[in-house]
């Protein structure tokens, strides 16, 4: 799993996008009638679209198909999306395609499907890699740690005990001879993990850590010099709660002004109350240091700014290709109409016509990601 994709403004976004049905669909509630084959020429802005960045992102993540059983279908919901073997073959073929031949390659080797849902429009949000200051050593300025995964977190697959329970995982720890839920955010903030040598890096503000959790990754400008990149490494397994909803109910932020930026500003301006509000979300994320060109998605490859999309893997195969058509978070900019690679997942990214677009690293990327709650749709590619 790439990151624990919190969506702080989820309830507000859903209200603005016409309800939650598009998020609540599961593969068992869909069938192959949801996909209707169409032609590339009918896709919005297809003739002008630059397809090479999306194809190049695909070339990194698609290698995962060759590691799976070739005859197995890549999607639980939509059998038309092909098998691992078919995708692996096209992945290999794509490695030698240059930018000038990207469109020719795609049109020759892929089919494209329109997704039909009850509302025919979905919700598309954004995420990014934030940057904060920190230190590898605790000091008067840097007092708030990001933690590495504790060794006493135990996962249990309920399906191992009762097949009817499926593959649901639960997380906890042994206390004596009893299996209990793992420490909550409030317990960790109160020192439950202190003295165990789990501190990965120290931050100046606990709100910084909370927002690294939201995004699932971050870059830390170290007081000692240089940078540290951190990425998702585990979780405590407690249920996620959207504190944006709590701040609306508390009358602290009007619903129409809710955004990640608004939440950040409120937490920073109300330091005496911020931890108690953050504690309303008992879920907690653990991190590890990462090295490379960018944050790593669930497909196991570095994300490409603007061309990596988090999806629900029950519908869309990780490593696959999607043509996205969604509103730009900046109203002065044209719609986002481009080929993207399905390289990531998120706990709030569920259902057909649902996606989370990676915008990159830093404040400029954060501005777009923080304001993106766009209506739109996607079209799915499948090997011919």
Given a cut of 90, whether residue 346 has pLDDT beyond it is no
Average pLDDT over residues 208-230: 93
**Sheet containing 227-235, strands listed edge to edge, beginning at the edge strand earlier in sequence:** 144-147, 199-203, 131-135, 217-222, 227-235, 285-290
Given a cut of 70, whether residue 1 has pLDDT beyond it is no
Q: Is residue 203 part of a domain?
A: no
Given a cut of 80, whether residue 211 has pLDDT beyond it is yes
Q: Is residue 18 part of a domain?
A: yes
374 touches 327 (CB < 8 A): yes
Q: Is residue 224 part of a domain?
A: no
Given a cut of 50, whether residue 13 has pLDDT beyond it is no
Q: Is residue 266 part of a domain?
A: no
Average pLDDT over residues 66-89: 93
SS3 state at 45: coil
Q: Is residue 339 part of a domain?
A: yes
Q: Is residue 4 part of a domain?
A: no
Given a cut of 50, whether residue 21 has pLDDT beyond it is no
CA–CA separation, 211 and 214 (whole Å): 5
Cα distance between the two ends of the chain = 29
CA–CA separation, 3 and 235 (whole Å): 9
Q: H helices within the chain, ranges in order?
A: 10-16, 21-24, 52-61, 84-94, 102-109, 185-189, 206-215, 243-249, 260-269, 271-278, 363-371
pLDDT band (50, 70, 90) for residue 32: low
Q: Is residue 193 part of a domain?
A: no
Closest of 262, 313, 295 to residue 3, by C-alpha = 295
pTM reported for the whole predicted model = 0.79
Q: What is the pLDDT of residue 363?
A: 87
In percent, how much of the chain has pLDDT > 90?
70
pLDDT in tens, 317-331: 999 999 999 999 999
Mean pLDDT of the chain: 88
Given a cut of 90, whether residue 293 has pLDDT beyond it is no
Instruction: Report the domain count for the chain.
Output: 1
Lowest mean pLDDT of 124-138, 157-171, 200-214, 367-381, name the range: 157-171
Strand partners, 83: 73
CA 356 to chain centre: 6
The residue that leads in pLDDT, 182 or 15, is 182
Q: What is the pLDDT of residue 167?
A: 79
48 touches 158 (CB < 8 A): no
Lowest mean pLDDT of 161-175, 186-200, 312-326, name the range: 161-175
Q: Is residue 340 part of a domain?
A: yes
| Domain range enclosing 321 | 10-126+295-383
pLDDT band (50, 70, 90) for residue 112: very high
371 CB-near residues (< 8 Å, 6+ apart): 126, 259, 261, 329, 330
Domain CATH for 15: 2.40.40.10
């Amino acid at each position: 799993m790439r990151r624990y994709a919190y969506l702080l403004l989820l309830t507000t976004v859903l209200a603005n996008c016409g309800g939650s049905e598009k998020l609540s669909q599961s593969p068992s509630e869909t069938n192959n009638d949801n996909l209707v084959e169409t032609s590339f020429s009918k896709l919005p802005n297809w003739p002008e679209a630059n397809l090479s960045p999306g194809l190049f992102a695909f070339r990194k993540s698609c290698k995962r198909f060759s590691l799976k059983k070739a005859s197995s279908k890549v999607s639980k919901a939509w059998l038309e999306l092909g098998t691992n073997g078919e995708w692996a073959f096209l992945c290999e073929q794509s490695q030698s395609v240059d930018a000038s031949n990207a469109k020719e390659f795609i049109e020759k080797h892929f089919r494209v499907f329109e997704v039909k849902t009850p509302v025919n429009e979905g919700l598309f949000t954004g995420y990014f890699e934030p940057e904060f200051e920190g230190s590898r050593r605790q000091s008067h300025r840097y007092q708030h740690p990001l933690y590495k995964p504790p060794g006493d977190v135990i996962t249990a697959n309920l399906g191992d005990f009762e097949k009817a329970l499926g593959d649901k995982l639960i997380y906890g720890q042994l206390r004596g001879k009893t299996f209990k839920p793992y420490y909550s955010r409030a317990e960790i903030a109160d020192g439950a993990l202190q003295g165990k040598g789990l501190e990965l890096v120290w931050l100046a503000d606990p709100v910084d850590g909370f927002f690294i959790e939201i995004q699932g990754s971050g870059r830390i400008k170290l007081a000692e010099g240089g940078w540290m990149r951190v990425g998702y490494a585990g979780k405590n397994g407690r249920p996620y709660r959207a504190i944006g909803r709590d701040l609306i109910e508390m009358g602290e932020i009007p619903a129409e002004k809710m955004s990640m930026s608004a939440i950040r500003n409120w937490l920073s301006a109300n330091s005496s109350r911020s931890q108690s509000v953050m504690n309303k979300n008992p879920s907690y994320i653990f991190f590890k240091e990462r090295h490379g060109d960018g944050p790593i998605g669930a497909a196991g490859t570095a994300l490409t700014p603007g061309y990596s999309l988090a999806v629900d893997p029950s519908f869309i195969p990780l490593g696959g290709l999607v043509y996205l058509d969604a509103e730009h978070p900046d109203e002065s900019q044209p719609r986002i109409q481009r080929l993207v690679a399905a390289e990531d997942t998120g706990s709030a990214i569920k259902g057909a016509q649902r996606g989370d677009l990676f915008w990159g690293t830093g404040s400029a990327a954060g501005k777009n990601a923080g304001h993106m709650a766009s209506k739109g749709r996607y079209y799915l590619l499948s090997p011919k």
